[in-house]
Structure 1
Amino acid sequence: MKTSTKVIRTDKWKLNPSYKQKELFEETLKVYRQACRYLIGIVYVHWSDLGGLTAEQLTPAVEKLMHETAKRPNIKYPQFNKAFYKFPSYYRRAAIAFAAGQVSSFVTRYREWQSGNRKKRSSKPPKLNAEAGCYPVLYKGQCYKLHGFNQVEIKVFDGKNWVWTIVQIAGLRERHQVTTNKMMSPSLIFNDKYCHLSVPFTCRPEKRKPEANVTAVDLGINTTATVAVVTHDGTVIHCDFIHLGRDIDCRDKRLKSVSRRASKTMGKGGKLHKGFCSNT
């Protein structure tokens, strides 16, 4: 029995943080990226052993190298726990997953470059960028808590400790209202221009009825749009062409009318008053 197709779609939930919360987000992003840079170095050094592991196997394998526990007191890289004291476990695992993805991408691109698979012969080798797309992934219950869909509580770093702060959700779309959609772990996107949650959803689109008709629209950039209605056996039962000729003619007539009135008012120089031809 075939299962329904899964489609991943991402919504943007705009946040409305206070000035203090922006400082907390900035501090959180700073320490998270520092941890990612540290982990990328570890993962890259041991990639020959880690590269063949699955995602479920890779995280504990990396933690054995750098995360000290009571049962694992001797580790190869004890500096991580000292540099990132009380770093939340779920943030650490998100950072490990990000580091593995960056290293895997770099190794693949570098091997292609070495093999001569380049856009240009003079192309420079790829670089291992530790900050490209580096934003913390939030796990439910451990890194964020939803209070309805108006507020979200996020675990942040205040420079000394990890604390919780409640932020207002300023805007969101409707995918969370669809019962068949499953919300996945969001990412906290924060920079000089943006502050929002990037929320992915696993969507299961409804199956089309076998005998239902399909309506398709082919949008032209500067030309005519075509609308076609097709039956289940491929027969086109209706076709229509939508063009902007009428709108373009109307626009040109209005512009010409404004131009004539402006020439009478201004002559060869001068300025038009505010609201000139606003009712044209």
Structure 2
Amino acid sequence: MDIFSTYSVKIKHYNHIFKDTVKVYREAVDFLIDVCLENGEELSSIDSSLNKQRFIETLCHTTKNNKAIYDFDNKFYKFPSYLRRGAISEAIGKVNSYKSNLNNWKVNPVGKEPSVPRAGYIFPCMYRTDMYKAVIGDNYKARIKVRTRNTWDWIEVDLRKSDIDYINRHCKLRKKCAPTLQKRGKAWYLDFPFEEKVKLNDTHIQEQTIVAVDLGINSAATVSVMLADGAILDRRFLNLSKEQDCLKHSVNRIKKAQQNRCYRTPRLWARVKRINKDISIKTAQFIIDVAVLYNADTIVFEHLDKFGKKRDSKKQKLHMWKCKEVQAIVANKAHRLSMRVSTINAWGTSKLAFDGSGYVLRGLDADLPTYSLCKFNNGKIYNCDLSASYNIGARYFIREILKSVPVKVRFELEAKVPQITKRSTCTFSTLINLNTELQDLNA
């Protein structure tokens, strides 16, 4: 499996010199987009992306054996060859996306017709040897080719020492790709992509140890470490009460400002985003720490869908919930540790009791002081998030076990345990019953 990551290195002492470079690059992409649109039929008949790039280059670039049709070389004088090919690839990609969207719109004409693509806010890639060179003997400096004084010339830039030291310390074993010039705020950066290859574990389902995670809105995460036979090795809870209070206080400050007709509050929103980011990072690190402690093979989440309108009183709280970001961070860290990440059907994991007694009552509906507790039909009072984590792990094991057995055995199991035929109603008790029937069949 290939993992790609990016680290941004800040460029010191330069603020305005790169504007002309980005401007010329975007104008070149716009020019090449028009060329691709005018030669759309010939371009669509070519299969290989490399051959498409060569075809557009022959139309725009004059050489000893080729006479260009379009006046690209005169309009963009001394445009670097690597950057020209990058601009051609960018233009071809935007045109292909436009044609695909246009065909989809013609089939189902909902909304406005897709507009002709433009370069937009893209930035040039500093291809090695032609656009970027590291200064030998000084790791904190680099030479890049930019548009300056109406020509393309090399300049030497100073890079931030902490960024370079971090790359040398943590990214030494990864493959470094060509950087991209980027602007964030008033500062300019070189974004270095890194590529690394990892091999994920192939442990058999009956020998796997999983970490079942229930991400909550009120509590950060509830984690259960499970085995395939239903054994629970550990249960962990993460309640970031201090961070949640800070988030609630910051949101209330925004509400207060809006009540006083101050609708633009970028600094207050920036504080909220930083707190939310901190909660996501701490939650992801907590999950990874538990997985490493028990040498887990798979981390299991719910497949959470937040699309659509939210109309209840918790609309803003649900909107601020960064469940997808937590899952992305965990997946990135887990894959580097050869762990797998899986998702299961989220319907009813909290509503159904893990012991198979049916639907639960939560909070005030069950005369309980907190919404985190629930009451089962048999009168048992239990932590609702913990019950949900049991169901999450059970659904993963049920799905993978049924995949691993022959079809004939699966039909026999479905006849004896009918609950496994409908994945959205499986609970922890279903896994126990399934394992019992498997043992009887193997006996």
Residue of structure 1 in register with 2:104 after alignment: 112
1:175·1:201 contact (CA, 8 Å) conserved in 2?
no
Residue of structure 1 in register with 2:81 after alignment: 89
Amino acid in structure 1 at the alignment position of 2:198: P
Amino acid in structure 1 at the alignment position of 2:69: K
Residue of structure 1 in register with 2:236 after alignment: 240
Distance in structure 1 (CA, Å) of the matches to 2:92 and 2:194: 23
Match of 1:166 among 145, 156, 165: 156
Match of 2:225 among 229, 241, 247: 229
SS in 1 for 2:17: helix
Q: In the alignment, does 2:136 pair up with 1:150?
A: no
Residue of structure 1 in register with 2:171 after alignment: 178
Q: Deviations over 1:102-144 (max 9, x none)?
A: 1111111111111116xxx3x1122233233421011111101
Amino acid in structure 2 at the alignment position of 1:130: R
Match of 1:58 among 52, 64, 83: 52
SS in 2 for 1:113: helix
Residue of structure 2 in register with 1:39 after alignment: 32
Deviation at 1:75, TM superposition (A): 2.2
Give 5+ residue unaligned stretches, structure 2. 247-443
Q: Deviations over 1:14-35 (max 9, x none)?
A: 22233xxx33200111111111
Amino acid in structure 2 at the alignment position of 1:16: K
Distance in structure 2 (CA, Å) of the matches to 1:111 and 1:68: 34
Distance in structure 2 (CA, Å) of the matches to 1:223 and 1:32: 48
SS in 1 for 2:94: helix
Residue of structure 2 in register with 1:71 after alignment: 65
1:175·1:181 contact (CA, 8 Å) conserved in 2?
no
SS in 2 for 1:172: helix
Change in 2 beyond 3 A, CA 1:124/1:153:
same
Amino acid in structure 1 at the alignment position of 2:33: I
1:139·1:186 contact (CA, 8 Å) conserved in 2?
yes
2:212·2:224 contact (CA, 8 Å) conserved in 1?
yes
Give 5+ residue unaligned stretches, structure 1. 252-280
Amino acid in structure 2 at the alignment position of 1:58: K
Q: Deviations over 1:58-101 (max 9, x none)?
A: 111111111001111x2211x11111111110110111011111
Amino acid in structure 1 at the alignment position of 2:146: V
Q: In the alignment, does 2:5 pair up with 1:9?
A: yes
Change in 2 beyond 3 A, CA 1:242/1:108:
same
Amino acid in structure 2 at the alignment position of 1:104: N
RMSD: 2.9
Deviation at 1:175, TM superposition (A): 5.6
Change in 2 beyond 3 A, CA 1:165/1:66:
same
Distance in structure 2 (CA, Å) of the matches to 1:128 and 1:235: 58
Moved more, 221-230 or 23-32: 221-230
SS in 2 for 1:24: coil
Q: Deviations over 1:169-228 (max 9, x none)?
A: 225384664344212222111365441122222122354484785556544343241123
Residue of structure 1 in register with 2:114 after alignment: 126
Distance in structure 2 (CA, Å) of the matches to 1:218 and 1:205: 27
1:43·1:62 contact (CA, 8 Å) conserved in 2?
yes
User: Matched residues, percent identical?
Assistant: 29
Amino acid in structure 1 at the alignment position of 2:79: F
Moved more, 224-233 or 187-196: 224-233
Distance in structure 2 (CA, Å) of the matches to 1:184 and 1:38: 27
Change in 2 beyond 3 A, CA 1:221/1:132:
farther
Amino acid in structure 2 at the alignment position of 1:68: T
Distance in structure 2 (CA, Å) of the matches to 1:53 and 1:225: 48
Change in 2 beyond 3 A, CA 1:202/1:161:
same
Distance in structure 1 (CA, Å) of the matches to 2:228 and 2:9: 38
